[in-house]
Amino acid sequence: MPSEANSRVVSGFLDYLKIEKGLAPLTISAYTSDIGQFAGFLEKHKRTLLNARRDEVSNFIREMFSNSVDGRSVGRKLSALRHLYRYLLLDKMIDYDPTLNIDSPKQWKVLPKSLARDEMESILRSPRAKSDRKDAEALAVRDRAMLEVFYAGALRVSEIIGVKLEDLKLEMGYMLVRGKGDKERIVPLGKSAQETLSSYIRTSRPVLMTGKSSPLLFAGRGAKKLTRQRVWQIVGEASSAEGRHASPHMLRHTCATHMVENGADLRTVQIILGHSDISTTQVYTHLALDRLKNVYQKHHPRAKAR
């Protein structure tokens, strides 16, 4: 239920649209739905339509995109909000329009969905042997190692099924990865990934090889090459235990998101992701700015001065 303050604002605005603008009922109905959705978003953040800030408008649009709302619908919602705040300014109910300088939806680069840290930890622990057979345990260890590498190095599916055993420099803590355009990059591996990979190579990979050989680091039973579909299934099964369906692409962006949240600069993230252009990595800019603001608020002696 919308708050009383928001209800009054919406009611006055709708009267304005009907009487002053003479808009069609269908248009008014669409405006009502869009503004009501934004009002509900604000109330979850303990704000109202009258004290909304630019950040709230930006975050609302970002949430729409992350929920796969198409750009045309997002554009209509933004248009409804712009009309609302022009009305509120004219009626002198607010002093500031929070929709000013908000880019049109077609200009947005939207941050892909990522997992929370506890969700990621659960996924990494998820693969379990499905039977008492020796190869079942070997498959579970392989899957855990793959998930660790996805998260440690933000690999693409094509990269993880193509990485070779000789590309792994375990004692040095990195692996060589061939990405788009056959460009080679170095991907660091954390301690957890190193330990899981070491266990996989020592005990599980030989079981899966069944006496055959393969140059690939990750392989199926009988040294068969893994398909893209199989890797998607592995990630999907590991995440379904948490009630959340994740994809390999989501693990890649989770790695980048958590790095930025922990203070990594965008240039470093660009190198790890294998983006040829920094503009592709700049989709994470708002995370870096959020962290910068939090650090500033915490440490600058005048940040909270009044």
Residue numbers annotated as active site: 156, 180, 249, 252, 275, 284
How many residues would you count in the chain? 306
Cα 75 to Cα 64, 131, 177, 245: the distances in Å are 10, 51, 39, 28
Strand order in the sheet with 168-169: 168-169, 174-178, 184-188
Which uninterrupted H or E stretch holds 137?
helix 134-153
Question: 243: which 2 tokens?
Answer: 């009630």
Q: How far, in whole angstroms, is CA 130 from its chain's centroid?
A: 30
What gap in Å lies between CA 12 and CA 7, rounded to an integer? 9
What gap in Å lies between CA 37 and CA 57, rounded to an integer? 12
Burial classification of residue 184, based on how many CB atoms lie within 10 Å of its CB (0-12 exposed, 13-18 middle, 19 or more buried): exposed
Neighbour count for residue 32 (Cβ, 10 Å) = 16
Nearest to 98 by CA among 35, 163, 61, 53: 53
